[in-house]
């Protein structure tokens, strides 16, 4: 009998780091606006009580979030910082975590910044400094290393939460794949990477090796597919897929927030961790490795071609219709971040495109579109951390519901903007269907 791969567990964590927002790519290029940015940041208590964040860590379902009146930021809810899928870490605790996983003396809490250092702020005061590792290597500057160490620390946080929640033996995980948006390296190999192995070391996965998988926002789904293949091939018994937060994207859409007098909600780093292993128990959510979606080079870059490759082909392979998939997880960006910046409601737009694809396939009629979006779609609840919002945060919800008999089939679908790297004009994408 062919060995099947299954999702054994998944965690999602958030790290509230408002005073690192100034080091996001967009804010750092607008130094005169830093006072305005600081004035628009929210407290840790407000971040914890924010309904989309509670959805991320599992204390609120996406359906209840959809019914919750907007603006969500205006209506705090009774909330806890810890949920069944992860937790929301306060800023000082995150600084301490960065210091813990730092092996090179980059984080110097309670020390004054020197030349080339970045000040670390807490409660409006300088708490310490973050150092460069080389005086002339741009890839080892304080700013780049802060991005990378923040990514490592947030991934470690998610991995530790995963191990605590699932009870998985750390020694049983033999491979770890990093799938975030960092580019770890030096001037000779700027994206050499292997955050996967660095996180394995810090999280106590001492029997693991690892590597990184890069594909812009589609990276985590690509990595998940590769993890399933490694398990089904018998190369590894258990594989972890991890990703940390993208510090460069903090405050990315601050201009829209300031213009519309809303809080700056891009004050969170995100972390995720998933463990894949053999489907050796009944009722597990298995991976349909025979029906993965891949965006072919020959397909071109139209939305129709993308959806045909990522949704249509896998459905045909499985002998399923569009409505046989109970929930599709697409780009789950929080609309309260994207709408003030002029980007609209990204999930709603994408679900309507998916429903329109069903109309073109003859499976739906035009009047079915609103019903399909509500029945098979999700509201956006994720920070705009790029890779983080692409489908994966739905995974812990899907696992929980599958165990309770509430869902039997879901598809994770991610797109990647390869053209941003100026090496090709292509899009990318990947999808995987999970079923009980």
- The alpha carbon of residue 114 and the mean position of all alpha carbons in its chain are separated, in whole angstroms, by 34
Judging by beta carbons within 10 Å of its beta carbon (0-12, 13-18, 19+), is residue 94 exposed, middle or buried?
Answer: buried
The pair phi, psi for residue 260, each rounded to 5°, is: -100, 10
Judging by beta carbons within 10 Å of its beta carbon (0-12, 13-18, 19+), is residue 70 exposed, middle or buried?
Answer: middle
What pLDDT sits at residue 214?
94
Q: Which domain holds residue 419?
A: 5-435
pTM beyond 0.95, yes or no? yes
Q: What is the pLDDT of residues 392-415, one digit of tens each?
A: 999 999 999 999 999 999 999 999
Greatest alpha-carbon span in the chain: 66
What pLDDT sits at residue 76?
85
Q: Return all residues near 74 (Cβ < 8 A) that are at least 6 apart.
A: none
What pLDDT sits at residue 1?
54
Average pLDDT over the chain reads 96
Q: Which residues pair with 178 in a beta bridge?
A: 212, 242
What pLDDT sits at residue 276?
98
Q: How many domains does the structure of the chain reveal?
A: 1
More confident residue, 300 or 291: 291
Q: What is the pLDDT of residues 48-80, one digit of tens each?
A: 999 999 999 999 999 999 999 999 999 888 899
- Does the pLDDT of residue 300 top 90, yes or no? no
Q: What is the pLDDT of residues 97-147, one digit of tens each?
A: 999 999 999 999 999 999 989 999 999 999 999 999 999 999 999 999 999
- What percentage of the chain reaches a pLDDT higher than 90? 95
Ramachandran category for residue 109: left, alpha or beta (phi over 0 → left; psi -120 to 50 → alpha): beta
Q: What is the pLDDT of residues 347-361, one digit of tens each?
A: 999 999 999 999 999
Split at pLDDT 50, 70, 90, the class of 236 is very high
CA angle 112, 184, 138 (to 5 degrees): 60
Split at pLDDT 50, 70, 90, the class of 336 is very high
- Does the pLDDT of residue 237 top 90, yes or no? yes
- Does the pLDDT of residue 372 top 80, yes or no? yes
Residue 207 to residues 66, 153, 217, 219, Cα–Cα distance (Å): 42, 20, 29, 24
Q: What is the pLDDT of residues 182-222, one digit of tens each?
A: 999 999 999 888 999 999 999 999 999 999 999 999 999 99
- Does the pLDDT of residue 344 top 90, yes or no? yes
CATH of the domain at 186: 3.40.47.40
């Amino acid at each position: 009998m062919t060995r099947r791969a299954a999702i054994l567990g998944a965690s999602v964590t958030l790290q509230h780091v408002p005073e690192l927002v100034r080091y996001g790519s967009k804010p750092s290029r607008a130094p005169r606006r830093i006072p305005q940015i600081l004035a628009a940041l929210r407290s840790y208590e407000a971040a914890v009580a924010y309904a989309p964040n509670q959805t991320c860590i599992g204390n609120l379902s996406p359906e209840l979030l959809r019914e919750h009146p907007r603006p969500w930021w205006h209506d705090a809810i009774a909330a806890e910082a810890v949920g069944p899928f992860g937790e929301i870490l306060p800023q000082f605790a995150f600084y301490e975590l960065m210091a813990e996983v730092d092996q090179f003396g980059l984080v110097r809490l309670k020390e004054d910044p020197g030349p080339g250092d970045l000040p670390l702020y807490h409660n409006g005061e300088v708490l310490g400094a973050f150092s460069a590792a080389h005086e002339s290597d741009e890839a080892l500057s304080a700013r780049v290393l802060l991005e990378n160490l923040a990514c490592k620390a947030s991934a470690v946080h998610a991995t530790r939460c995963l191990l605590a929640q699932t009870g998985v033996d750390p020694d049983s995980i033999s491979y770890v794949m990093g799938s975030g948006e960092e580019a770890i390296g030096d001037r000779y190999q700027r994206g050499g990477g292997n955050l996967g192995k660095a996180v394995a070391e810090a999280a106590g996965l001492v029997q693991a090796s690892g590597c990184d998988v890069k594909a812009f926002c589609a990276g985590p789904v690509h990595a998940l597919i590769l993890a399933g293949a490694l398990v089904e091939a018998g190369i590894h018994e258990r594989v972890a897929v991890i990703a940390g937060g993208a510090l460069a994207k903090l405050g990315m859409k601050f201009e829209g927030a300031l213009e519309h007098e809303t809080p700056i909600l891009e004050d969170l780093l995100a972390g995720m961790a998933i463990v894949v292993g053999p489907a050796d128990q009944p009722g597990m959510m298995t991976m349909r490795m025979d029906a993965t979606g891949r965006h072919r080079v020959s397909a071109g870059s139209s939305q129709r071609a993308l959806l045909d490759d990522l949704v249509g082909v896998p459905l045909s392979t499985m002998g399923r219709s569009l409505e046989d998939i109970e929930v599709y997880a697409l780009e789950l960006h929080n609309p309260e971040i994207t709408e003030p910046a002029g980007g609209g409601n990204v999930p709603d737009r994408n679900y309507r495109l998916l429903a329109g694809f069903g109309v073109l396939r003859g499976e739906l009629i035009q009047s079915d579109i609103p019903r399909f979006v509500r029945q098979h779609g999700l509201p956006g609840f994720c920070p705009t951390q790029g890779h983080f919002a692409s489908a994966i945060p739905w995974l812990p919800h899907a696992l929980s519901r599958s165990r309770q008999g509430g869902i039997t089939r879901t598809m994770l679908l991610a797109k990647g903007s390869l053209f941003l790297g100026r090496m090709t004009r292509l899009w990318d994408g990947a999808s995987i269907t999970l079923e009980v």
